[in-house]
Amino acid sequence: MAKYATGKYAKAISDRSGMEFPYNEMVREWNGSFVHVSEFEPKQPQLEPKPMNGDSISLRNVRPDRNENDVPYVIPENGFETYASGSRIINVTAPGHGLTNGTTYRFRGAPLATTVAGGTFQFTNPADFDGITGTNIAKAAGYAITTGLYVNDARNTSDYSVANFFHFTVDTDTATIGGVKGGGVGCSVGPVTLSAWLKKFGIGLKTYLYLKNKIHILLCMRNL
């Protein structure tokens, strides 16, 4: 096999400039040109572009946004309280109720285990108290509520009052004494018409209201 000299004392002619340079200072470019190190030019990166993928915008696991059905809010035991004797205003204790001021809601008593045709849930009426009948409280058309506690003939608009109390004016009935609590256990306030979505998932309303109330209690305890 032939041997080549190291070129220690040799000279070379650059393929680029045609000038003479020491042989040991010559390098070969990517295209085969034999040039001096001072003339060396690397290969243009755009001659071998790297493949580019699209920007990562979409998500693998997604769910569409949805509007949840309105559901009843469970009122604490005897959560209704008459304001004053001869008054039709009733205050309702409802910690963290989340209801909207001026919106019409319907009151219901404890739910029954049976349903009517079509799967509509049935309810009892709140218990009568202080001259106010449960039938009147639970009227089908509902009542427009005002958030906040009604005291001293005015609405208390403090953040605490608005978030945890509301009041409404019941039809016809007036309080006999005033300042009397009642309504019984299992009463709720919610939309005038309840959706039947619970039945699709095999959840009874009693079970749902029980779980919702338990979750609400746990959240209240956590915020103490």
Say whether both 84 and 146 belong to one domain: yes
Say whether both 137 and 189 belong to one domain: yes
| Residue range 153-191, pLDDT digits in tens | 999 999 999 999 999 999 999 999 999 999 999 899 999
Candidate from 33-42, 53-62, 120-129 with smallest mean pLDDT? 53-62
Give me the domain span that covers residue 17. 12-40
**Is residue 90 situated within a structural domain?**
yes
Say whether both 102 and 192 belong to one domain: yes
Provide CB contacts within 8 A for 82, sequence distance 6+. Answer: 89, 90, 91, 129, 130, 131, 132, 175, 177, 178, 179, 180, 182
Total count of domains within the chain: 2
